[in-house]
Amino acid sequence: MEIKFVAGFGPIVRDIAGSRAFWGDGLGIQLEEAAPDYWTNDDLQGVKAFGLWPLSQAAENCFGTATWPAEVPVPQAWMELDVASPEAVNEAVAELEGKGYRLLRGTRLEEWGQTTSHLLSPEGLLVGVTYTPWMHEQE
């Protein structure tokens, strides 16, 4: 078997209204109701990376410690949404905070050159709003 690309990704939701608000209004992904309470967007570009990220590393990245804090729900998956520039990461962070979403960690330039920020979605996904320069060079 040879996997060519990620054909789809999405959270399993418990609160459709909260999830629609986060993914649609918060992050600006245009969603259409394809079936009762099933919202989709089939026009987003594909995934450029797939990785198994250990929880200890995610905790270190978000909180500066190898242990995930007990008071924060443990994420079930991670997803990074790339924006046009490092400045756009800052703008996205300000917009999300302005809408009441709590960031786990604000904007930071990582040692490998990626600009990142992280928050937790209502479904428990660790969501990064990022700028990954080498992925934009491929465009």
CA distances from 109 to 53, 66, 127 (A): 19, 20, 16
Q: Which residue has the tokens 């490092």?
A: 86
The upper half-sphere exposure of residue 124, i.e. CA atoms within 13 Å in the direction of its Cβ, equals: 11
pLDDT (0 to 100) of residue 49: 82
Backbone angles phi, psi at 116, to 5 degrees: -135, 160
pLDDT tens for the 139 residues of the chain, in order = 676 767 678 888 889 999 999 999 999 999 999 888 889 998 888 888 888 899 999 999 999 999 999 999 999 999 999 999 999 999 999 999 999 999 999 999 999 999 999 999 999 999 999 999 998 875 5
Question: Which of the 8 DSSP states describes residue 21?
Answer: I
Q: How would you classify the pairing of strands 77-82 and 125-130?
A: parallel
| Fold category of 50-136 in CATH | 2,3-Dihydroxybiphenyl 1,2-Dioxygenase; domain 1 (3.10.180)
pTM: 0.84
